[in-house]
Structure 1
Amino acid sequence: MADLSFLEILSAFIVLFAVIDILGSIPIIINIREQGGVIKSFQASSISFVILFIFLFLGEALLGLFGVDISSFAIAGSFVLMLMAIEMILGVQIFKHDSPAGASIVPVAFPLIAGAGSFTTLLALRAEFALANIILALFLNIVVVFLVLNYTDKIERLIGAGGVYVLKKFFGIILMAMAIRLFMSNFANLLIDFLPKIR
């Protein structure tokens, strides 16, 4: 319980929310359903949570096999987050999403929700925040994912296309700021580790 921090949970939640970008995915979800794809909200969100939860614990071990430390991976992750932020802010497509016909597991659970961006972000967050805070932030995000999937049509009618557009730009800017912070803090850690070796 001592590791729990409201500020860390909030920060991790915002970053994951921006990366998962479930609100920005509303047009994709609607398109899948219009094409006859059946999306079961609980199934898609729970499978996403399990995939991301497992990766949160095994990801660092996998990095160890390749001799990559968490700070180096976090810096690499900051570049990925920066590109995603640019994509959201400028409305350009950098990452390709090859999605087959709609289904709860593919492409909604994976790779739309639990994709390369979320994997990278989770490991990057481990270099910054306590594990308990990341798990809580992840769970809260999956709750939001479930609600959005369950009430996609109502949300679209409520905030409109303009509302989705504004949210995407807003969270893109937040994501860019977090990417810069992630890079600076972990780059400083690497410098501290390498300077004594140079001397």
Structure 2
Amino acid sequence: MIKAAVFDVGETLIDETRIWCRWADRLAVPRFAFLGVIGGMAATGRPLTDAFELVRPGLDLDAEQSAWAAAEPGSLRNNFDGDDLYPDVRPALRELRRRGITVIIAGNQPPQAKSALERMDLPVDAVYTSAEWGLEKPDPEFFTRVTEVAGVEPAEICYIGDRVDNDVLPVRTAGMLPVLIRRGPWGYLTAELPEAAGTTTIDSLDELPDLLAPA
């Protein structure tokens, strides 16, 4: 019996399209090209940061982010807000809580993501980020922390995310139920991997309430 549903952030709750389009504009790269390169990273198993190196060899990403913040202190830049939520997020989270499931957000995110998510007033019980824990998926210790904050046994936790490497394999190892959502480059591509075989896969968060807590 699942008692807690824990959610990844990027391409699970947040549509990152606007973020990557703003990055493309910042780097003076056509949006379609940059989005395609990001898809290539997902397809070849390369880290996302390699996309920046491909389009702008030698780019100092940290320095670029600092320069961007200085140039546009009032803009979203590489951040997100409520307009980036997928439309199924609020209804699904609300329904899960109505059915007695504890709902937690815990994903690989920078420090500012926590406050951004909290400002959305989502129907969740808690929000955590890798930055505040000093741990990133797929580190097993990340999922140990998930178990601690959920306050239930691993077998009573479902973790929902879009990546097999971060959200399925280590979740299985931790003794939790992984659910893979097919959206975003990694979601569509990694759902086809042999490692994903047998994983519960959904196309929308609307499917979760009946999956985890049938009425």
**Higher-RCO chain (CA-CA 8 Å, sequence separation at least 6):** 1
Q: TM-score, normalised by structure 1?
A: 0.31
Q: TM-score, normalised by structure 2?
A: 0.29
Q: Which has the higher strand share?
A: 2
